[in-house]
Amino acid sequence: MFLVLVSPTGQYSIWPAVLRVPAGWQVVHGVASRLSCEAFAAAARLDLSAAA
C-alpha cells in the first residue's frame, strides 16, 4: 500500500505507506494501491500544468 505525498515546493511522490513520511511532506492521497496513487499523482500534475 502507498501514499501520495507533496513537498513544500509542490513536488509529488508515491511513497510506501509502511515508511515514515519525511519532514515537511504532506499526505494528499492514500493509503491506497500503487495504481490508485499513480493515477492521483498524474491527475494532480495535469492540473498543475493546466494552471501554468
Residues 1-52: pLDDT tens digits?
999 999 999 999 999 999 999 999 999 999 999 999 999 999 987 765 555 5
**Structure pTM?**
0.85
Q: Output the CA angle 50-38-7, nearest 5 degrees.
A: 70
Range(s) of the domain holding residue 16: 2-51
Cα separation, 37 vs 52, in Å, equals 23
- Number of compact structural domains in the chain: 1
Residues with Cβ within 8 Å of 47's Cβ and at least 6 positions away in sequence, in order, are: none
Cα separation, 18 vs 45, in Å, equals 24
Domain holding 37: CATH number?
Answer: 3.90.820.10
Residue 14: the pLDDT is: 97
Residues with Cβ within 8 Å of 17's Cβ and at least 6 positions away in sequence, in order, are: 1, 2, 3, 30, 31
